[in-house]
Structure 1
Amino acid sequence: MHGGGFAAWSRDRLSMARRGAAECGDVWQLERGVYVAAAAGPCEEVLHRAHDFPRPSSPLFPPPKRSSGAPTAEEGAHAHTARMRGLRPQAVAARIGEIAPGTARFADRWPTGRDVEILPPVRHALAETGVRYLFSEDAPTLLPFAWQLFLAREVLVRPSRWVWPRWVPTPARRFRTRQQVAFTDALRPVVRRRRSSGRLGDDVLGLMLRPSSRHGPLPEEAVLDSLPGLTVATFETPSRAAGWILLHLARYPRAADRVAAEAALLPADPAATTSTHLDSLRYTRALVREVLRMYPPSWLLTRHVGRRTQLADFTIDAGSTVLVCPYTAHRDAREHSEPDRFRPERWLDDSGSPTKPGAFLAFGTGPHGCEGVALAMAMLTLLTAQTARRYHLSEPPGPEPGYQVTTFEGLATDGLRLRATARG
């Protein structure tokens, strides 16, 4: 596609992505060496072929340099397996009563009768919930450091005219390193106290500290290095999604009423909420899934090409970049009927459900899919239910939207303002 390349792309990335998919097909070329996978099939193919299309090698929170060296690849794989003990759907289901109170507190604290910029309190509520899920009784100690990690991430990914080499110690990178060290320094005594006392805990950290029959206990540094990124991920991406969900509750009052009717059956005490209650929120979950389909918070995923390979009709050279675009894949009429129409019922009706697993890519797929899918869906579903249960939401009056769509790091409703009115 030769329509201005990155210049046109940077002006309106969503429109450019849709135009490219419409005019050029399932895979199209943005510029030399840069390709866009725009449909479910090639998106899923790229994400599953991790050897041909690896993720960028530099994580947002890279392990710090140490004289003893970083954890080995085998220890990293062991750490991933250990983390997943606490993030699997069964583990999340067993702890719904610990997740629900944080989402209820968010709804209870919403000031009524005035327009409120809602993303900051959403982020704080989900941070409290996510950090408590990871660290239980140690969450109050670690939450301030987790918040500073998030701020470091925001500074680091902010758009800039210059792309500095990774080895250049820019102010943003130095700030990131300071916050990462501070988080690790706060977490290290927690790890040592739990191990020395033998009371490891049943949270994600505790499950990571349990020795495995094959590998024994994880080295301390392997535990510490794996948690900064996971900690931020528990609330950063769900917060972007929550903005879109709350906006849709305001724009579709009938859908919000249906969510409220389901939520009315939740226990009065949020701590008494169980996985059975969560499973009963079928329409609420469908609404969350539909918003994620239309506005996936991670709408564009970057993959590098490790070796010369084929994708659709393109032979792609090593060193090229493939941009995987769930946003356009989710708006493909071959996968979703009336793709631009907000219709949560599609996830309840067999006739409207997508025909392929890859047709829903809000959390990625393949070996590098999101680890926290079950936790994120539980938090978002309960936050949606608790909010609709209490309030009618509305947008500020006026012709202009009360938010700005941002696309650089994720798809978000920056500055979103909404008004809550108590339900009668």
Structure 2
Amino acid sequence: MHTVFRIGEVRQIDKKLSLYEVDLKLTSDDDQQLRQLTDHIREESSGSSGWHRIDDPKLANIYNNIAVTYNDMGDYSKALEFYEKDLEITKKALPSNHSDLATSYSNIGQVYNDMSDYSRALEFYEKAHKIYEKALPSNHPNLAISYSNIGQTYNDMGDYSKALEFYEKAHQIYEKTLSPNHPSLANSHLNFAACYERMGDYAAALKSLLSAFQIQKKAFQESNPAFASTYSWFGRVYRNTKDYSKALDYFEKCLAILQKTLPQRHPNFGITYSNIGDVHRLMGNYERALSFHQKALNIQENVQCNSLNCATTYTNLGETYREMKDYSTALIYFGKGLEIREKKLPKNHPDLAVIYHNMAKLYLGTLKYSIAKENIRQAVEIAEEKLPSNHPHLLDYRETLEEVQKKL
């Protein structure tokens, strides 16, 4: 959804069912032809003639297409502008309970989610969901997608129990309506894996990942872009279980697929470089870690990306410099990461606890114990509120708190 591709190769994979697999290459955010097309459609639709002679529903569709293009280019404010124009026309042209109106609300919710404005994203996703519940059968795929969207937003907000609740509702619909090897079921398992990984239940995350992977192996060829996300989540889980060689292997598999399917400066490269850099840090390969984090920043600071991904790279860089005992540089990067996360995330988000913990360890290393205590208490308070009682992060934070208290 919200992507523009060029078609590479088309292969028939099931003659009886007339099923085909299509190799797609995502256009870059600075694709010249894409920009020309966007400018042309925008010009044609903004005057008092031409497109304005078309009836409103068709004009709404044009606005929607322009919005999709801007969203793919990472220009979320422009995407929002045209989605709102689409919504304005759609509200006048269709009944208030029409499913197309729900789609318009959902599109706006997606943009707000991409902008990390999660409260607004939820507001529009819930408007869409109320319409879907009235307009569609209880097992309709769009209803499952709606549940997944809401679940994703709760997951991004750090409310993992709520996220699981909505992911489960979506999964139940998929299981009832889709074949066992349908790609949407694989995506559903990936949603579970992402949530379990954040909750620190790595065994459950691996189980969900394996379920997704088994479906994808039957549905796609090995080079399919769908595997990139799965490999990345495998890497995250193995990194958390301290199996760094496996983590690195999966992140590199993810990178290999991205290199075949995406433009060189796509934001997903930044995420993957940062993940690889973090594994090298954990293995003690600090120069390699710095090299990959810099590759990530070269993309994230110069291409329109989700700023929270940039915050993660800053945090990883800060932790690398802290372990190298370059505390002044580490503090600079922790500050950059903290500024973004405090601006974008709820005050009790677990990702804030991560930085508070990192800064506590830094101040512990520089013998500033009172400041260390202030930071680690914030980390513990957030983790106790938002994470399971046996979460590895919470256990680490409490251990650091005890260490700080012994120094006071």
Q: Report TM bin, short chain.
A: under 0.3
Higher share of residues assigned helix: 2
Structure index of larger Rg: 2
Quick one: higher RCO (CA 8 Å, sep 6+), 1 or 2?
1
What's the TM-score once normalised by structure 1's chain length? 0.25
Higher share of residues assigned strand: 1
What's the TM-score once normalised by structure 2's chain length? 0.26
